[in-house]
Amino acid sequence: MRRRLELLMMLAAFAGLSLWATAEPTPADLAAQRRQLEGLRADPNHLARLRENVKAFLQLPVRRREAIVKLDRELHELPAKKQERYFHTLARYADWLEQLRETNPVAHQAIKDAPDAAARLALITEERNREWLASQPKAIRDQCHAMNRAARAEFVVKLRLREREDREKWLIARRFWRELDTRQVMPCRLGDYHPRVREYVEKFLMPSLSAQERKELAAAEGLWPDYPRKLVEIASQRPSALPPPRAEDLPRNLKKLPEPVRQRLVEKKGGGASKKTFKELQNFAGPNFPSKVVEIAQRNLRYPFPHEYWACTHLALQPPMRKFVEGELMPAMKAQIADKRKLIASEGKWPDYPLTIQELSKKYKLHPPWHYLPEPERYKWDLYKSPRYRSARGDADMAK
């Protein structure tokens, strides 16, 4: 615990210092600093410990001090929930490292002397795997000890991944305990869902998936919670309003557009097909095709598209996102006229508008509820997301 307290107190103390070092403090910052100082004066022992930690910090090598400044700045720029997760990871790492110093001084010293983050991560992973293996049944331990080092490491990774998968499935089952307790039939294949979900998955989502993602989704079909969990994992990485993770997945011509969008653009209007719109769209292809599609669709009154697809206006957003912009983002920007103007200026342009919302949300540490699958209230998609705190992920975060 001693090492943990030292580490956390140093970061807590340094949070104030980094603010002064990186930017001119605002009146609100100054007021917060005064309140913090008043609170410290009320606890002389705490203040004395903080002074000792600051003194210890100033005695560190320059590179180490710069690394701590950078870490502190990056931590405090994160959204609140992410900050909490990383501070939790930092605390667990400090506790674990202190315990390791007592139980295995050699391993502790090796980690401490690691030349870089990659080497440190390798040593931490090896030690954590060793600890995990020691807690397993004798049959598994004997099986591992009979393998060479490389095979043993691979075997342990597979077992730990399987264990984590089982744990996460159990957590998801607990979230749906009422449905399971009343013996409701749980959806486990695409055909079990509402037609709007099927349309979105088949015509909007599937064309952008890699061969591996298609394979994983097919392998999960017929299994609960495996199928909806995998569907949510894949779809949540591709909110329909935002550009996809890979630029090559963006439609670059009329034929590549999702069928419902294509139909919306060239549907009959006033008794005849929209030849003008069709002709305009045929003249464009390439990386700027999506923004041109949105521009033409707005001009010809064929916008917005379904499912928040390529949303570039407030009305093109789904109700949860409209509520977020009105009730969270705009109030957060209340005193920031420049940010308000930036958002207003981006409206009507794609991908500018959704990317501006994303950028400003990050700035104000907000979490926009982008659409990624239809019927969220009926199917409770967010409950299938993996939990935030996971041991394997934590090991990597600790090393970094």
Strand partners, 268: 273
Phi, psi of 375 (to 5 degrees): 55, 50
Peptide bond between residue 79 and the one before it cis (omega within 30 degrees of 0): no
pLDDT of residue 23: 47
Average pLDDT, the chain: 85
Please check whether residues 266 and 365 belong to one and the same domain: yes
Helix or strand (DSSP H, E) at 378: helix 376-379
Please check whether residues 208 and 301 belong to one and the same domain: no
Please check whether residues 255 and 362 belong to one and the same domain: yes
Residues 323-338 as b/e (b if ≥16 CB within 10 A, e otherwise) read ebbeebbeebbeeeee
For residue 278, what are the CA distances in angstroms to 177, 247, 283, 285, 316? 51, 24, 9, 13, 22
Please check whether residues 65 and 88 belong to one and the same domain: yes
pLDDT in tens, 6-18: 454 445 444 444 4
Q: Which amino acid is at 28?
A: A
Of residues 271, 276, 284, the one with CA closest to residue 301: 276
Please check whether residues 373 and 329 belong to one and the same domain: yes
Please check whether residues 66 and 22 belong to one and the same domain: yes
For 273, the 3-state DSSP assignment is strand
Please check whether residues 233 and 251 belong to one and the same domain: no
pLDDT of residue 28: 64
Phi, psi of 268 (to 5 degrees): -65, 140
Range of the domain at 316: 247-377
Report the C-alpha gap between 340 and 287 in whole angstroms.
Answer: 29
Report the C-alpha gap between 187 and 224 in whole angstroms.
Answer: 7
pLDDT of residue 64: 83
pLDDT in tens, 20-75: 444 455 666 667 667 777 776 777 777 787 788 888 888 888 888 888 888 888 88
pLDDT of residue 43: 76
Q: Is position 76 within any domain? A: yes
Count of structural domains within the chain: 3
pLDDT in tens, 130-188: 899 999 999 999 998 899 988 988 899 899 999 989 999 999 999 999 999 999 999 99
Average pLDDT over every residue of 356-382: 95
Please check whether residues 226 and 288 belong to one and the same domain: no
Report the C-alpha gap between 356 and 365 in whole angstroms.
Answer: 14
Helix or strand (DSSP H, E) at 376: helix 376-379
Give every CB contact of residue 378 below 8 A, 6+ residues apart in sequence. Answer: 194
Least confident of 56-60, 266-270, 361-365: 266-270
Report the C-alpha gap between 201 and 191 in whole angstroms.
Answer: 11
Share above pLDDT 70 across residues of the chain, in percent, rounded to a whole number: 85
8 A C-beta contact, residue 200 and residue 308: no
User: Token pair for residue 262?
Assistant: 């294509």
Please check whether residues 287 and 352 belong to one and the same domain: yes
The CB-based long-range contact list for 149-154 (8 Å cut-off, 24+ gap) reads 153/126, 153/129
**End of a domain among 116, 139, 168?**
116
Higher pLDDT, 195 or 157: 195
**End of a domain among 85, 116, 147?**
116
Of residues 204, 350, 359, 224, the one with CA closest to residue 288: 350
Q: Which amino acid is at 111?
A: I
pLDDT in tens, 277-292: 777 777 788 889 999 9
Please check whether residues 66 and 91 belong to one and the same domain: yes
Of residues 5, 24, 112, 12, the one with CA closest to residue 72: 12
- Helices 211-220, 226-235: inter-axial angle, 10-degree rounding: 150
pLDDT in tens, 98-131: 899 999 999 999 998 998 888 999 899 889 988 9
Please check whether residues 284 and 203 belong to one and the same domain: no
**How many beta carbons lie within 10 A of that of residue 345, not counting itself?**
12
pLDDT in tens, 60-97: 888 888 888 888 888 887 777 788 888 888 888 888 99
The DSSP result for 156-199, as a single string, is HHHHHHHHHHHHHHHHHHHHTHHHHHTTPPPP-SGGGS-HHHHH
Please check whether residues 279 and 356 belong to one and the same domain: yes
User: Token pair for residue 83?
Assistant: 């900050």
Share above pLDDT 90 across residues of the chain, in percent, rounded to a whole number: 53
Q: Which amino acid is at 150?
A: A
8 A C-beta contact, residue 255 and residue 397: no
Average pLDDT over every residue of 381-394: 64
